Chains A and B, each alone.
Chain A
Amino acid sequence: GNSVTQMEGPVTLSEEAFLTINCTYTATGYPSLFWYVQYPGEGLQLLLKATKADDKGSNKGFEATYRKETTSFHLEKGSVQVSDSAVYFCALSDRGGGGADGLTFGKGTHLIIQP
């Protein structure tokens, strides 16, 4: 079956540090890949996505590249801010792609940015 593995937190960084949150996946088909973010007290929000190999998703300074050869979709940001503190979920969908159907999620990574 499908699965998503992401690094467990909490991850604590200082403001302006470089961020990497690793995510690898197992899927039977050709999945679409997503990063969701959950701020305290709020629902999950789509951060970025990639629907095919070598695509790069980007948003709000975050980016992730769909690497089929390593089955990875690592999240990166060059300079984090305190406001980036949240829980980040890596997810995949392989039922037609494009986020059309139910998602398989990783466990989530709690990111804490200190001033």
Chain B
Amino acid sequence: GAVVSQHPSWVICKSGTSVKIECRSLDFQATTMFWYRQFPKQSLMLMATSNEGSKATYEQGVEKDKFLINHASLTLSTLTVTSAHPEDSSFYICSARDRTGSSYNEQFFGPGTRLTVL
């Protein structure tokens, strides 16, 4: 149990286009999901906290108009990178928080999405 999926696992796009990344909790309901970004040989950096049915909370320095987050259901959050540029190329990882059972409050991570902007 407690599986989180991401789609796509990798994507290549042209500069100026928008890319949507999905994060799904497959077997539990997640009222809160998190989006992280990881550069090569760098830490995972929290970008935003996504709460079901409300606006996302962005970390300092993260452009909310650039990285649109929607958490429309208890099992799905999406991250849209708008007007992508090469500097947006990175590894994007989501996590979902399970509020139930023995794993209360634990975050479960997706496998990540590799974005390359040409």
Contact = CB atoms under 8 A, between A and B. Distances in A.
B92 interface: no
Given A99-B106, A102-B34, A106-B43, A44 B93 contact: yes
B114 to A, nearest CB: 12
Contacts of B110: 43
B46 A102 contact: yes
B4 interface: yes
Interface residues of A, number: 20
Nearest to A34: B107
Interface SS of B by simple majority = strand
Specify which of B42, B108, B109 lies most central, judged by the most chain A CB atoms within 10 Å of its CB: B109
B56 to A, nearest CB: 11
A2 B37 CA distance: 17
A104 B46 CA distance: 7
A45 B108 CA distance: 7
A93 to B, nearest CB: 9
A4 interface: yes
Interface string A83-115: 000000100000000111111111110000000
Interface of A: 4, 36, 41-46, 89, 98-108
10 contacts: A4-B43, A43-B4, A46-B106, A99-B105, A101-B49, A102-B49, A103-B46, A105-B36, A106-B43, A107-B43
Interface of B: 4, 34, 36, 41-46, 49, 59, 93, 95, 97, 105-112
Given A105-B36, A105-B44, A107-B43, 8 more contacts: A4-B43, A42-B111, A43-B108, A43-B110, A44-B44, A99-B107, A103-B46, A107-B41
10 closest Cβ contacts across the A-B interface? A44-B109, A43-B109, A102-B46, A105-B44, A105-B43, A43-B111, A107-B43, A100-B105, A98-B105, A43-B110
